[in-house]
Structure 1
Amino acid sequence: MSDEQELLPKPSQEVRQWAMFCHLSGLLGIWFPFGSLIGPLILWQMKREKDSFIDAQGREALNFQITMTIATLISVGLTVVLIGYLLIIPVVICSFVLPIIAGVKANNGFPYRYPFTWRLVK
Protein backbone atom coordinates (compact mmCIF):
# COMPACT_ATOMS: atom_id res chain seq x y z
CA MET A 1 0.00 0.00 0.00
CA SER A 2 1.41 3.36 -0.99
CA ASP A 3 1.56 6.42 1.25
CA GLU A 4 -0.93 8.20 -1.04
CA GLN A 5 -3.52 5.44 -0.59
CA GLU A 6 -3.10 5.53 3.19
CA LEU A 7 -3.79 9.30 3.30
CA LEU A 8 -7.03 9.19 1.31
CA PRO A 9 -10.22 8.80 3.33
CA LYS A 10 -11.89 5.46 2.73
CA PRO A 11 -15.30 5.64 1.01
CA SER A 12 -18.31 4.30 2.89
CA GLN A 13 -19.16 0.61 2.68
CA GLU A 14 -22.16 1.31 0.43
CA VAL A 15 -20.07 3.41 -1.98
CA ARG A 16 -17.34 0.75 -2.10
CA GLN A 17 -19.95 -1.92 -2.74
CA TRP A 18 -21.49 -0.05 -5.69
CA ALA A 19 -18.03 0.57 -7.16
CA MET A 20 -17.35 -3.17 -6.85
CA PHE A 21 -20.66 -3.95 -8.58
CA CYS A 22 -19.67 -1.66 -11.46
CA HIS A 23 -16.54 -3.74 -12.04
CA LEU A 24 -18.15 -7.14 -11.53
CA SER A 25 -21.14 -6.33 -13.74
CA GLY A 26 -18.76 -6.66 -16.67
CA LEU A 27 -18.92 -10.40 -16.11
CA LEU A 28 -22.57 -10.35 -17.27
CA GLY A 29 -21.21 -10.87 -20.78
CA ILE A 30 -20.83 -14.55 -19.86
CA TRP A 31 -24.61 -14.96 -19.87
CA PHE A 32 -25.96 -12.10 -22.01
CA PRO A 33 -24.74 -10.77 -25.36
CA PHE A 34 -23.18 -7.36 -24.75
CA GLY A 35 -23.97 -7.74 -21.03
CA SER A 36 -20.37 -6.81 -20.34
CA LEU A 37 -21.10 -3.33 -21.73
CA ILE A 38 -24.69 -2.92 -20.59
CA GLY A 39 -24.07 -3.89 -16.94
CA PRO A 40 -21.37 -1.31 -16.13
CA LEU A 41 -23.15 1.33 -18.21
CA ILE A 42 -26.45 0.98 -16.35
CA LEU A 43 -24.87 0.86 -12.88
CA TRP A 44 -22.58 3.79 -13.62
CA GLN A 45 -25.47 5.89 -14.98
CA MET A 46 -27.65 5.05 -11.97
CA LYS A 47 -25.06 5.67 -9.23
CA ARG A 48 -22.45 8.11 -10.58
CA GLU A 49 -24.12 11.11 -8.94
CA LYS A 50 -23.99 9.46 -5.50
CA ASP A 51 -20.21 9.63 -5.02
CA SER A 52 -17.11 10.54 -7.02
CA PHE A 53 -15.56 7.12 -6.21
CA ILE A 54 -18.48 5.32 -7.88
CA ASP A 55 -18.29 7.74 -10.81
CA ALA A 56 -14.56 7.14 -11.36
CA GLN A 57 -14.71 3.36 -10.90
CA GLY A 58 -17.84 2.98 -13.04
CA ARG A 59 -16.24 4.98 -15.83
CA GLU A 60 -13.08 2.89 -15.54
CA ALA A 61 -15.08 -0.36 -15.70
CA LEU A 62 -17.04 0.84 -18.74
CA ASN A 63 -13.88 1.92 -20.58
CA PHE A 64 -12.27 -1.45 -19.86
CA GLN A 65 -15.29 -3.35 -21.18
CA ILE A 66 -15.37 -1.21 -24.34
CA THR A 67 -11.68 -1.96 -24.87
CA MET A 68 -12.21 -5.70 -24.33
CA THR A 69 -15.16 -5.73 -26.75
CA ILE A 70 -13.05 -4.06 -29.44
CA ALA A 71 -10.14 -6.45 -28.76
CA THR A 72 -12.50 -9.45 -28.98
CA LEU A 73 -13.97 -8.27 -32.29
CA ILE A 74 -10.48 -7.70 -33.73
CA SER A 75 -9.34 -11.14 -32.52
CA VAL A 76 -12.37 -12.84 -34.02
CA GLY A 77 -11.78 -10.99 -37.29
CA LEU A 78 -8.16 -12.11 -37.32
CA THR A 79 -9.09 -15.78 -37.00
CA VAL A 80 -9.25 -15.70 -40.81
CA VAL A 81 -5.45 -15.42 -40.82
CA LEU A 82 -5.12 -17.73 -37.78
CA ILE A 83 -3.41 -15.19 -35.47
CA GLY A 84 -6.80 -14.37 -33.96
CA TYR A 85 -6.88 -17.76 -32.26
CA LEU A 86 -3.74 -16.83 -30.33
CA LEU A 87 -4.94 -13.31 -29.54
CA ILE A 88 -8.36 -14.34 -28.22
CA ILE A 89 -6.85 -16.35 -25.34
CA PRO A 90 -5.25 -13.42 -23.44
CA VAL A 91 -8.27 -11.21 -24.22
CA VAL A 92 -10.67 -13.72 -22.66
CA ILE A 93 -8.41 -14.28 -19.64
CA CYS A 94 -8.09 -10.52 -19.03
CA SER A 95 -11.86 -10.08 -19.46
CA PHE A 96 -12.48 -12.45 -16.56
CA VAL A 97 -9.54 -11.86 -14.22
CA LEU A 98 -9.11 -8.08 -14.23
CA PRO A 99 -12.73 -7.19 -13.28
CA ILE A 100 -12.45 -9.52 -10.28
CA ILE A 101 -9.20 -7.87 -9.19
CA ALA A 102 -10.75 -4.42 -9.73
CA GLY A 103 -13.87 -5.41 -7.78
CA VAL A 104 -11.81 -6.56 -4.81
CA LYS A 105 -9.71 -3.38 -4.86
CA ALA A 106 -12.81 -1.17 -5.12
CA ASN A 107 -14.48 -3.04 -2.27
CA ASN A 108 -11.40 -2.35 -0.16
CA GLY A 109 -11.71 1.36 -1.00
CA PHE A 110 -8.79 1.65 -3.41
CA PRO A 111 -9.28 3.09 -6.91
CA TYR A 112 -8.28 0.68 -9.66
CA ARG A 113 -7.01 1.58 -13.13
CA TYR A 114 -7.09 -1.19 -15.70
CA PRO A 115 -3.93 -1.70 -17.74
CA PHE A 116 -4.10 -1.48 -21.54
CA THR A 117 -7.42 0.39 -21.48
CA TRP A 118 -8.54 2.87 -24.07
CA ARG A 119 -10.33 5.55 -22.07
CA LEU A 120 -13.09 6.74 -24.39
CA VAL A 121 -15.60 7.77 -21.71
CA LYS A 122 -14.23 10.79 -19.86
Structure 2
Amino acid sequence: MQVINVTQTGKKTDTNLLVFTQLSQLLTYLTGFGGFVVPLILWLVKKDEVEGMDMHGKNIINFQITMFLIALISIPGIFLFGLGILSLIWVGVVSFVMPIVNAVRASNGEAPSYFSTIRFLN
Protein backbone atom coordinates (compact mmCIF):
# COMPACT_ATOMS: atom_id res chain seq x y z
CA MET A 1 0.00 0.00 0.00
CA GLN A 2 1.34 3.39 -0.95
CA VAL A 3 1.32 6.13 1.66
CA ILE A 4 1.31 9.68 0.35
CA ASN A 5 2.06 12.29 2.97
CA VAL A 6 1.32 15.99 2.72
CA THR A 7 4.10 18.27 3.98
CA GLN A 8 3.71 21.66 5.61
CA THR A 9 4.38 23.34 2.26
CA GLY A 10 1.18 21.77 0.94
CA LYS A 11 3.02 19.42 -1.39
CA LYS A 12 2.63 15.67 -1.15
CA THR A 13 5.54 13.27 -0.87
CA ASP A 14 5.31 10.68 -3.63
CA THR A 15 8.54 8.75 -4.02
CA ASN A 16 6.97 6.31 -6.48
CA LEU A 17 6.30 9.13 -8.95
CA LEU A 18 9.88 10.37 -8.54
CA VAL A 19 11.19 6.87 -9.21
CA PHE A 20 8.95 6.54 -12.28
CA THR A 21 10.13 9.93 -13.54
CA GLN A 22 13.76 8.85 -13.20
CA LEU A 23 13.16 5.49 -14.90
CA SER A 24 11.13 7.06 -17.71
CA GLN A 25 14.43 8.31 -19.13
CA LEU A 26 15.08 4.75 -20.28
CA LEU A 27 12.32 5.19 -22.87
CA THR A 28 15.04 6.69 -25.05
CA TYR A 29 16.21 3.16 -25.77
CA LEU A 30 12.72 2.16 -26.95
CA THR A 31 11.40 5.23 -28.73
CA GLY A 32 14.42 7.44 -29.29
CA PHE A 33 12.85 10.58 -27.81
CA GLY A 34 10.55 9.42 -25.01
CA GLY A 35 13.33 9.69 -22.45
CA PHE A 36 13.18 13.45 -22.79
CA VAL A 37 9.47 14.05 -23.44
CA VAL A 38 7.92 11.93 -20.67
CA PRO A 39 10.06 13.33 -17.80
CA LEU A 40 9.52 16.84 -19.17
CA ILE A 41 5.74 16.42 -19.14
CA LEU A 42 5.74 14.84 -15.67
CA TRP A 43 7.95 17.63 -14.34
CA LEU A 44 5.84 20.42 -15.85
CA VAL A 45 2.57 18.94 -14.59
CA LYS A 46 3.63 17.84 -11.09
CA LYS A 47 6.40 20.25 -10.05
CA ASP A 48 4.05 22.32 -7.87
CA GLU A 49 2.23 19.33 -6.38
CA VAL A 50 4.93 16.80 -5.44
CA GLU A 51 7.76 17.48 -3.00
CA GLY A 52 11.12 17.14 -4.78
CA MET A 53 9.69 16.92 -8.30
CA ASP A 54 11.06 20.33 -9.27
CA MET A 55 14.60 19.34 -8.28
CA HIS A 56 14.40 15.90 -9.91
CA GLY A 57 12.80 17.26 -13.08
CA LYS A 58 15.39 19.99 -13.57
CA ASN A 59 18.22 17.53 -13.04
CA ILE A 60 16.71 15.10 -15.56
CA ILE A 61 16.21 17.77 -18.22
CA ASN A 62 19.74 19.12 -17.69
CA PHE A 63 21.13 15.57 -17.94
CA GLN A 64 19.18 14.74 -21.11
CA ILE A 65 20.21 17.97 -22.85
CA THR A 66 23.86 17.44 -21.86
CA MET A 67 23.88 13.84 -23.15
CA PHE A 68 22.28 14.98 -26.41
CA LEU A 69 24.87 17.71 -26.91
CA ILE A 70 27.77 15.34 -26.16
CA ALA A 71 26.37 12.81 -28.65
CA LEU A 72 25.91 15.56 -31.23
CA ILE A 73 29.49 16.76 -30.80
CA SER A 74 30.78 13.18 -30.93
CA ILE A 75 29.44 12.52 -34.42
CA PRO A 76 31.92 14.86 -36.18
CA GLY A 77 34.55 13.54 -33.78
CA ILE A 78 34.17 10.12 -35.35
CA PHE A 79 35.20 11.45 -38.75
CA LEU A 80 37.94 13.74 -37.48
CA PHE A 81 39.75 11.71 -34.85
CA GLY A 82 37.88 8.46 -34.37
CA LEU A 83 37.54 9.33 -30.68
CA GLY A 84 33.88 10.17 -31.10
CA ILE A 85 33.13 6.45 -30.84
CA LEU A 86 34.47 6.41 -27.28
CA SER A 87 32.33 9.37 -26.25
CA LEU A 88 29.24 7.82 -27.87
CA ILE A 89 29.85 4.61 -25.91
CA TRP A 90 30.27 6.71 -22.75
CA VAL A 91 26.99 8.54 -23.44
CA GLY A 92 25.21 5.21 -23.97
CA VAL A 93 26.48 3.68 -20.74
CA VAL A 94 25.99 6.78 -18.58
CA SER A 95 22.50 7.40 -20.01
CA PHE A 96 21.53 3.86 -19.05
CA VAL A 97 23.15 3.64 -15.59
CA MET A 98 22.45 7.09 -14.09
CA PRO A 99 18.63 6.93 -14.30
CA ILE A 100 18.71 3.61 -12.46
CA VAL A 101 21.08 4.93 -9.79
CA ASN A 102 18.96 8.04 -9.31
CA ALA A 103 15.74 6.02 -9.19
CA VAL A 104 17.20 4.13 -6.23
CA ARG A 105 18.24 7.44 -4.66
CA ALA A 106 14.72 8.83 -5.20
CA SER A 107 13.15 5.77 -3.57
CA ASN A 108 15.36 6.40 -0.53
CA GLY A 109 14.31 10.06 -0.41
CA GLU A 110 17.72 11.36 -1.50
CA ALA A 111 18.52 14.09 -4.00
CA PRO A 112 19.53 13.06 -7.53
CA SER A 113 23.20 13.12 -8.46
CA TYR A 114 24.19 13.59 -12.10
CA PHE A 115 27.90 14.14 -12.63
CA SER A 116 29.28 16.07 -15.60
CA THR A 117 25.96 17.74 -16.33
CA ILE A 118 25.69 21.27 -17.68
CA ARG A 119 23.24 23.31 -15.59
CA PHE A 120 20.82 24.80 -18.12
CA LEU A 121 17.98 25.06 -15.60
CA ASN A 122 18.63 26.14 -12.02
- Please give the TM-score of this superposition, normalised by the length of structure 2: 0.83
Q: Give the superposition deviation at 1:113.
A: 2.2
Residue of structure 1 equivalent to 2:27:
28
Asked if 2 retains the 8 angstrom alpha-carbon contact of 1:16 and 1:54, the reply is no
* Identity level (%): 36
1:54 partner amino acid: M
Runs of 4+ in 1 over 2 A off after TM superposition: none
Q: How does 1:1-122 map to 2 (within 5 A)?
A: 12=13, 15-81=14-80, 82-122=82-122
Q: Give the superposition deviation at 1:98.
A: 0.5
Give 5+ residue unaligned stretches, structure 1.
1-10
1:89 partner amino acid: I
Greater shift in the superposed pair: 74-83 or 59-68: 74-83
Local SS of the residue matching 1:21? helix
Mapped partners of 1:76, 1:17: distance in 2: 36
1:30 partner amino acid: Y
Deviations 1:67-102 (A, max 9, x none): 111111111221112111121111110000011000
Tell me which protein shows more helix as a share of its residues.
1
Give 5+ residue unaligned stretches, structure 2.
1-11
CA RMSD of aligned residues (A): 1.4
Mapped partners of 2:119, 2:20: distance in 1: 19
Question: Which is bigger in relative contact order (C-alpha 8 A, separation at least 6)?
Answer: 1
